[in-house]
């Protein structure tokens, strides 16, 4: 499955780590990177990715607000929050913003499985 992924994270090193994780999966590519929510929204409109990986804590617009705006613009694109923050209580807020999954950065190895799960659910619903 070919998959174009946009990474939105204010940390250069984290974007590199995510790119390495995602790039290790055949057929997946990073179509763009953004260093904050504002540039993430611009790249989202420009690149039309198949999936977005978002950081929660960014300096200008939070990952939750960024996700909410992306989801409003195109609710068919899955959004995954990738964060260092504790997940307790965050998943409910994230879901309201259109985020379909939350993965802790300390559990980065779960990212590939989560992306596969998101797309398996989409395929089961007939969304391409």
Sign for the CA dihedral angle at 5, 95, 82, 71 comes to: positive
Residue 122: pLDDT band (50, 70, 90) is low
The C-alpha atoms of residue 33 and residue 53 are separated, in whole angstroms, by 10
Residues 32-70 have pLDDT tens digits of 999 999 999 999 999 999 999 999 989 899 999 999 999
What is the pLDDT at residue 128? 47
Strands 101-104, 28-34: parallel, antiparallel or unpaired by DSSP? unpaired
Give me the CATH topology for the region 3-124. Answer: Rossmann fold (3.40.50)
Q: Which pLDDT value is given to residue 62?
A: 92
Per-residue burial over 15-45, b if 16 or more Cβ lie within 10 Å, else e, is: bebbbebbeeeeebebbbbbbbbbbbbebbe
Residue pLDDT, tens place only, 106-118: 888 888 899 999 8
pTM assigned to the model: 0.90
Give the pLDDT of residue 126.
Answer: 53
Give the confidence band of 86 by pLDDT, cuts at 50, 70, 90: low
């Amino acid at each position: 499955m070919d998959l174009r992924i946009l990474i939105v994270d204010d940390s250069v090193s984290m974007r590199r780590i995510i790119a390495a994780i995602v790039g290790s999966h055949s057929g997946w590519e990073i179509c763009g990177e953004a260093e904050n929510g504002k540039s993430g929204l611009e790249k989202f409109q420009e690149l039309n990715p198949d999936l977005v990986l978002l950081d929660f804590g960014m300096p200008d617009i939070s990952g939750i607000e960024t996700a909410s705006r992306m989801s409003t613009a195109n609710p068919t694109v899955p959004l995954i929050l990738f964060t260092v923050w504790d997940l307790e209580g965050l998943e409910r807020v994230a879901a309201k913003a259109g985020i379909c999954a939350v993965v802790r950065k300390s559990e980065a190895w779960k990212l590939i499985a989560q992306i596969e799960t998101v797309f398996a659910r989409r395929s089961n619903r007939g969304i391409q």
